[in-house]
Structure 1
């Protein structure tokens, strides 16, 4: 299927890029993405000890929570989460309309 496409108010073509995954091992739990998402796509979850990268610096080991995609079907593809993420945790891509 072809990805969803639209036009901006100014008439320019636009293809939304939806959040399809989030790398929890990179996430520092800062909450910036959660604050900019208007669709309740994200949730803060407790990080298990298995998720902590032993080779990372000491700051990452103190992180007890990370973001997760809890409702990805509600994503509008605006990309705000990716733009504010300081660790580039998100993977976004064009998607077809869900059946």
Structure 2
């Protein structure tokens, strides 16, 4: 299986990992990923807890096609909520 690869300025090979999903069970809605993303891929979403009838904010993928595969979102996430995947070439 071949993946899309890129080259860094220094000449090293790099495989971008694109956002697949965010685990809303782990997400605490801190917004670090939102601030780290320069491509406006993420946005806040209110999640309703049916059992407690409460609402909490989580991050969601709102513009997934804008993802450049930099993984800044995942690297800033304190809870490890992100699933990333390279693209097949």
User: What's 2:64 paired with?
Assistant: 72
Q: How many residues align?
A: 88
Give the structure-1-normalised TM-score. 0.80
Q: Tell me, yes or no, if structure 1 residue 87 matches structure 2 residue 79.
A: yes
More strand by share: 2
Runs of 4+ with deviation above 4 angstroms = none
Q: What SS does structure 2 have at the residue aligned with 1:64? A: strand
RMSD: 2.0
Aligned-pair CA distance for 1:63: 6.5
More helix by share: 1
Structure 1 residues without counterparts, runs of 5 or longer: 55-61
Give the structure-2-normalised TM-score. 0.88
Structure 2 residues without counterparts, runs of 5 or longer: none
